Amino acid sequence: MRRKRAPFNDKRFIGNTNSNEVHDLDNEDRYGECNIPLIRDSHVKTFSPDTHAQAKREGFDNCAKCIGNSKH
């Protein structure tokens, strides 16, 4: 589920700079296991362009719940 408020700004891909994981909010885990509400706003990173490829270029690991193929 995308969030309109800052710092999410309706973006699809959100990086957690604390865990170094990227989440796909269009495929957010329906049981809440992505724990998006627990990410501090100061740890929320958006991408430009708003793509998974850009998140990978910036060195983020996949969330195992909403993207899969996590390295951890």
Per CB under 5 A, residues contacting Zn ion are: 23, 34, 63, 65-66
Nearest-CB residue for Zn ion: 63
Residues 3-11: contacts with CB within 8 Å, 24+ apart? Answer: 3/36, 6/41, 7/41, 7/44, 7/46, 8/44, 8/46, 9/46, 11/46, 11/47, 11/50
Nearer residue to Zn ion within complex by CB, 44 or 66: 66
Nearer residue to Zn ion within complex by CB, 45 or 65: 65
| Shortest distance, position 48 Cβ to Zn ion, whole Å | 20
| Shortest distance, position 49 Cβ to Zn ion, whole Å | 19
Q: Is 62 left (phi over 0), alpha (psi -120 to 50) or beta?
A: beta
| Shortest distance, position 5 Cβ to Zn ion, whole Å | 18
